[in-house]
Chains A and B, each alone.
Chain A
């Protein structure tokens, strides 16, 4: 987990930004654009990419063959971002994403990683005991399903395309998007159809 900001941190950040500007490495406009892009990024983008893949086979092919191009097609600027790879769950195989070395995460389409994703506990255990980790999340995989842990060690960022759950037949894109959570997009959870009593 990251340490709390020290009192001198803001001053140090200002000095760094000033130096980068003076040396012509960074402009105010670039900084503002990147901040806006970072603020816009949220897991709803990834969720919509998944919902669309459940509805449109052609989009699904694009998503699986070139995640970055799919993100661009969603209006996400991938310039300077690491390439996005998308991992397709099947009835036989579930994907779980971790970065054991640091905290690589598909920020462009999921936003900031949650704190647990960066914790030593998750990073150490997901790769060694993925079934134990999933059980603690309350995620039960169907009998016979194998797990493929994807350790995000280098230059790609990985997102999961989960299975479309039964009970969602006939749903439109917005409704499908609403059940794809951030946690499902890295594989610690599965998309859940709300029970009828819960649906208001």
Chain B
């Protein structure tokens, strides 16, 4: 069974609103995706791919603010959250692949933490 395409806000809702002047993670910030697995705790809807949990990447830019799909999926009023485009090296994720190849992914701010230097070195 295919999941429905996307979980964007209702058609009447504007898709985005002006981004805040100073994002928490400006372009170039090293960030770590939270190593969290809500799917183990019960029913949920998550737009953060499993292969990126705990991974470190670099913020490319803030894309805007969008209704939180994790709340929207259950038909509840969904507050808007900052959505970033985050760039990851492809090779360390899979321990295979071509050096220099990358993956660019939309990730909500509440899934991101500042990367710690020690974790980056691992």
Binding site for B on A (CB under 8 A): 1-3, 79-83, 85, 100-105, 107, 118, 127-131, 146-156
Contact = CB atoms under 8 A, between A and B. Distances in A.
Contacts of B8: 82, 155
Contacts, number: 103
Nearest to A127: B103
Nearest to A1: B2
A125 B109 CA distance: 27
Interface stretch (B11-19, B21-29, B113-121): B11-19
Interface in B82-99: 83, 87, 90, 94, 96-98
Contacts of A102: 2-6
B40 to A, nearest CB: 18
Given A82-B8, A149-B103, A2 B2 contact: yes
A104 B4 CA distance: 9
Contact of B15 (A103, A148, A155): A155
A131 B4 CA distance: 28
Label chain A's interface by main secondary structure: loop
A156 B49 contact: no
Interface of B: 1-6, 8, 11-12, 15-16, 47-49, 51, 63-64, 66, 69, 83, 87, 90, 94, 96-98, 100-108
B84 to A, nearest CB: 10
Label chain B's interface by main secondary structure: loop
B6 A82 contact: yes
A184 B107 CA distance: 26
18 contacts: A2-B2, A83-B63, A100-B49, A102-B3, A104-B5, A118-B2, A127-B103, A128-B97, A131-B101, A147-B90, A149-B104, A151-B49, A153-B48, A153-B49, A154-B107, A155-B6, A155-B63, A156-B63
Given A101-B3, A101-B49, A147-B98, A155 B83 contact: yes
A31 B62 CA distance: 34
A154 B83 contact: yes
Given A149-B103, A153-B105, 4 more contacts: A80-B15, A104-B6, A129-B97, A154-B83
Contacts of A130: 90, 101
A100 B102 CA distance: 15
Contact of A146 (B2, B3, B15, B101): B101
A105 B2 CA distance: 14
A118 B1 CA distance: 11
Nearest to B13: A80
Contact of A105 (B5, B63, B64): B5
Nearest to A26: B11
A150 B104 contact: yes
Contact of A153 (B4, B12, B102, B107): B107
User: Nearest 7 A-B pairs (CB), nearest first?
Assistant: A80-B11, A154-B106, A146-B100, A155-B66, A102-B3, A149-B103, A151-B105
